[in-house]
Amino acid sequence: MALTPTEEENLFRLFTSGQDENIRLALQLAKSHGIDLGPRLAGIEKIYRCIYPEKRAGAVTQVRFVHSTTELNLYHKKLVDIPEYIGQMKQLVQMDLSSNMLTDLPYSLSQLTVLEKLFLFRNRFETFPEVIGELSGLKELHLPFNRIRRLPDRLEKLTNLQSLSLGGNPLDAYPSAVNGLTELRHLDLSECMLESIPDDISNLTSLSSLSFEGNKLATLPLSIGKLGSLMYLNLVNNRFTDLPEWLAQLSQLSILNLTNNRLTGLPTSMSQLTRLKDLDLSGNPFTEFPEVLFTLPSLRRLEFHKSTFSSEMQESIQAKLPECTVSFNRFDA
C-alpha cells in the first residue's frame, strides 16, 4: 500500500533525524512500501567516502553521520566537484572545502540555512560561486588564493557576514559590494593587486581588522579615518612614501604593520595613537629615528629590521623606550 503524502513526509523526517532507531525504521518502511531511497543513499555514500575513503560503514552509520554532523572537513581531498546531496546536511555550521580543485559549488548548498563558516582556500574558482550569495546566515567566508577577478553585487545579501578573506585573488579593482557588508569585523584583501581604495569603505564602521598587505597602494582615502573601531591595520609590502596626518583619528588602533614600504618619516600626529602597542617599520629607508615614537605611551613592541642605525643609536633608542621591546637588525648593503 502506498503511503499518503503526510506519511511519506514523516518517513523522510525519520530518515534524516540522525538517530539510528529512526533511520532503521525509515529504511524498513521505504522497502515495504516501495519507496526508492537509492539515489539518496548513493549521495550519502559519496559524501561519506569523500571523508572516509578507507573506512567501511553500513547505511545506518552513513545516514546518521550525514544528517547529524555540524562540521564537515573535506580539506585536501583532490575534489573536482561536490556531491549535490551535500545540501541535505542541514545541521552544518562549518564546512572546509579548502585545497581542492573546485571551480564551482552546487546550488543545493543554498539549503544549508544554519551554515556560519565556509572555508574555500586554494581552489580553482575563476568566478565567485553564485550560491554563496544565498547563504544568508554566513558569518565567515574565506576564499583566499583562487582566481577570482570580481565579486557580484549579490554579496551584499550576506548581511550577517563578520569576516571576509579574499587574499591572493587577482581582483580587477576593489570590490564595491564589500562596503555594503556593514557587520564586517575582519577584512583581508592581501595580494589582490589593488591600486586604490574607494571612499565608501567608511561604511564598514564595525571593522576591527583590515589587511591590504602586498598590493600597489601609495595612498589611502581620508574616509578610513572614520573607522573608529579599527584595532589592526596591515599595510605590508605596498608603496607608501609617507603617512597621512589623519591616521591619528584611528583612536583604537593597537597593531600597525608598515613593513617594506618607502617611508622616510612619520607624521607628528601619530602621538595621538595612545593605544598603539605593536608597530613594525622594518624594511623602510629611514635615515633618522622618528622622534614621535618616543611619545607613544602604550608602545610595547617596535620592529625596525633592516635599519641602518648604528649600534650606539640603537642602544640610545632602547634606553629611551624602557617599557618597549625594540628589535633591530643591522642591514649592510
Q: Cβ of 54: how many Cβ atoms within 10 Å?
A: 5
Q: According to the model, what pLDDT value does residue 265 have?
A: 95
For 64, 86, 118, the CA distances from 97, given in Å and listed in that order, are 21, 12, 8
Quick one: pLDDT at residue 229? 97
Count of C-beta atoms within a 10 Å radius of residue 332: 5
Q: What is the pLDDT of residue 49?
A: 85
- What is the predicted pLDDT for the residue at 1? 61
The x, y and z cell numbers of residue 305, run together, are 629590521
Task: Report helix, strand and coil shares of the chain as percent, to nearest 5.
Answer: 30, 10, 55
Please answer whether residues 122 and 98 qualify as being in contact, where contact means their C-beta atoms are separated by less than 8 angstroms.
Answer: yes
Query: Does the CA dihedral 330-285-276-193 come out positive or negative?
Result: negative
Q: Model pTM?
A: 0.90
CB atoms within 10 A of CB 50: 17
Residue 79, number of CB atoms within 10 A of its CB:
16
For residues 50 and 75, the answer to whether their CB atoms sit within 8 Å is no
Rama region for 69: left / alpha / beta (φ>0; ψ in -120 to 50; rest): beta
As to burial, measured by CB atoms within 10 angstroms (0-12 exposed, 13-18 middle, 19+ buried), residue 42 is exposed
Q: Hey, what's the cell of 283?
A: 624594511
Judge whether 330 and 305 are in contact, CB under 8 Å. Answer: no
Extract the C-alpha cell encoding 232: 589592526
Question: Domains of the chain by range and CATH?
Answer: 1-68 (no CATH), 70-148 (3.80.10.10)
Q: Which of 151, 162, 115 is nearest to 134 (CA)?
A: 115
Distance CA 235, CA 266 (A): 14
Give dist(CA 302, CA 22) in Å, integer.
Answer: 61
**CA 74/CA 177 separation, integer angstroms:** 29
For the record, the C-alpha cell of 225 comes out as: 579615518
- Residues 286/314, Cβ–Cβ less than 8 Å: no
Give me the amino acid identity at 4. T
What size, in residues, is the chain? 333
Tell me the β-bridge partners of 209.
Answer: 186, 232
pLDDT recorded at residue 46: 86
Q: List C-alpha distances in Å: 319 to 107, 279, 302, 314, 325.
A: 62, 18, 13, 9, 10
End-to-end, the C-alpha distance of the chain in Å comes to 88
Q: In 3D, which of 315, 318, 273, 279 has the Cα closest to residue 296?
A: 273
Kindly give the confidence (pLDDT) of every residue in the chain, 333 residues in length, as a single tens digit, with 9 standing for 90 and above: 666 777 777 777 787 877 888 888 878 888 888 888 888 888 888 888 888 887 888 888 888 888 899 999 999 999 999 989 999 999 999 999 999 999 999 999 999 999 999 999 999 999 999 999 999 999 999 999 999 999 999 899 999 999 999 999 999 999 999 999 999 999 999 999 999 999 999 999 999 999 999 999 999 999 999 999 999 999 999 999 999 999 999 999 999 999 999 999 999 999 999 999 999 999 999 989 999 999 999 999 999 998 888 889 999 999 999 999 999 975 443
